[in-house]
Structure formats: C-alpha cells, structure tokens
C-alpha cells in the first residue's frame, strides 16, 4: 500500500495543479491554495496516470524548434483556409474520411503526432489503429484529387518530422 502511494506521489505535479487552480480562481489566496492542494491530491492519488513507455525516446531539440516554427506557420495558413471555406460564396466543400499509415514506432510519439494534427484546422484524426499504425482521418476539404493528395502529404510530412524529432534511426 505504501509503495503504491510513493509511486503515485508526484509533488511537482501537485504544485502545478495548485498553480493552475489559483489561476482558474483568479487570485492567490490561502483558501485557493488549500483547495488546490485538495484537488491536486485527489487527482494524483484517486486518478493515477499509467506509466508512460518513454524508454529510448530522445529529443532532437533543434529539429523540434524548427518544426514548431513550421507548425505555427501551417496553423495560420490552415486557419485562413478554413475561414475562406466557411465564408466564400460557394457550396460547402466535399469532405472525406481516409486511412493513412503512420510509421512512428513509439506510442507516445504517435499520440504527440495525433495531438499536433488535431490542433490544426481542416482535419482531425477520428480513429487510431495502434496495432497496424493507421490513422483514420476526417478531411474538411477533399473536393478534388489534388486537395486530397495535399492533405495526405501533410500527414506524411508530420510523420517524417516526428521521426526526425523523436526517433533517431
């Protein structure tokens, strides 16, 4: 019992939850700090996170920095594209659901890639087949073959970036 509690006890995580709680409440008071401590303790001890398999994961920080710059640029472009699709005086674009392979070998990297893709407007991962490393992706604009090929190439580029950043071969 004590060993399980020791394994779950993450003091910095509780401090982080206290900080977030106080920010959500709008002020740092003793009552907010104590209630944040209670909320953090309930979360850490009552809802323990599973161990993450991060063995062998190395981060190429320079590649990560360059990718984040590229991702921010793509975020702006995708936002303008979706805004144009919504505001243009034409019929809504045809959407598509496609299956796309992902060659990343680490599940944590696959979840990072999924989060990064879902944060971009214009498409979302609707299903992940972990055993076969396949995404099922809903694409907002798949009106023609060129647009569909472009979106699939975006997924392939994300995959290449994740491999370059996290999986040194």
The token pair at 158 is 């994300």
Residue boundaries of the structural domains of the chain: 2-46, 61-166
Q: Are 148 and 95 in contact (CB under 8 A)?
A: no
The token pair at 124 is 């979302």
* Number of helices (H), then strands (E), in the chain: 6, 3
In angstroms, the first-to-last Cα distance of the chain is 41
The token pair at 116 is 């990064």
Rounded to two decimals, the pTM is 0.71
Please, is 43 exposed, middle or buried when counting C-beta atoms within 10 Å of its C-beta (0-12, 13-18, 19+)? middle
pLDDT at 75: 94
pLDDT at 35: 95
Q: d(Cα 63, Cα 68) in Å, to the nearest integer?
A: 9
Low-confidence ranges of the chain (pLDDT < 70): 1-8, 51-56, 169
N residues, the chain: 169
Q: At what angle do helices 61-87 and 145-166 cross, to 10 degrees?
A: 160
Provide the phi-psi class of 122: left if phi over 0, else alpha when psi is between -120 and 50, else beta: left
Question: pLDDT tens, 98-116?
Answer: 999 998 888 888 989 999 9
Helix (H) or strand (E) holding 138: strand 134-139
Q: d(Cα 94, Cα 142) in Å, to the nearest integer?
A: 5
């Amino acid at each position: 019992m004590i060993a399980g509690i020791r394994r779950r006890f993450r003091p910095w995580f509780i401090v982080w939850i206290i900080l977030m709680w106080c920010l959500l409440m709008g002020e740092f008071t003793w009552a907010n700090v104590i209630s944040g401590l209670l909320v953090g303790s309930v979360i850490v001890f009552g809802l323990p996170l599973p161990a993450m398999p991060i063995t062998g994961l190395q981060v190429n920080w320079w590649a990560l920095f360059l990718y984040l710059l590229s991702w921010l640029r793509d975020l702006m472009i995708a936002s303008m594209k979706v805004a144009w699709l919504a505001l243009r005086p034409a019929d809504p674009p045809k959407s598509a659901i496609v299956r796309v392979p992902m060659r990343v070998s680490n599940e944590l990297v696959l979840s990072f890639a999924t989060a990064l893709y879902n944060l971009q407007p214009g498409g979302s991962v609707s299903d992940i087949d972990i055993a076969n490393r396949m995404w099922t992706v809903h694409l907002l604009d798949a009106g023609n073959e060129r647009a569909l090929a472009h979106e699939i190439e975006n997924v392939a580029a994300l995959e290449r970036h994740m491999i370059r950043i996290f999986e040194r071969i």
